[in-house]
Amino acid sequence: MLDIEIAPYRSDERELAKKNILKVKETFKDKKLLIIFDRGYPSIDILKFWDENGIKYIIRSQESTYSREKREMKSNDEKVKIKLKAG
């Protein structure tokens, strides 16, 4: 474990993840980070947080997530840029 926090059951996992990632980033100051997350984490808020903090990430998502972007893909394995818009 690089960073762990025990919190109440109803805690917001995304907010806890942000805190954990900032601590890991501080620990590995000049190192590049690649964060890998499971479903449940993709949200505009957390994606913007990672982008603003220069953190690269991979997120597994539900099949229906970003369906338009997936339809535009030319192969099953390519980078996709998602433009984040403020609500």
Which pLDDT tens digit goes with each residue over 13-48?
Answer: 888 888 988 898 889 888 888 888 877 767 788 888
Tell me if 24 sits within 8 A of 2, measured CB to CB: yes
Q: Which of 62, 24, 25 is nearest to 43 (CA)?
A: 62
pTM of the model: 0.64
What is the overall mean pLDDT for the chain? 83
Residue 23's SS3 state is helix
Q: How confident is the model at residue 75 (pLDDT cuts 50, 70, 90)?
A: very high
pLDDT score of 87 more than 60:
no
Tell me if 55 sits within 8 A of 35, measured CB to CB: yes
Distances (CA, A) of 15 to 19, 29, 66, 87: 6, 21, 23, 19
Structure tokens belonging to residue 6: 């025990």
What are the tens digits of pLDDT across the range 43-69?
Answer: 788 888 888 888 888 888 777 877 888
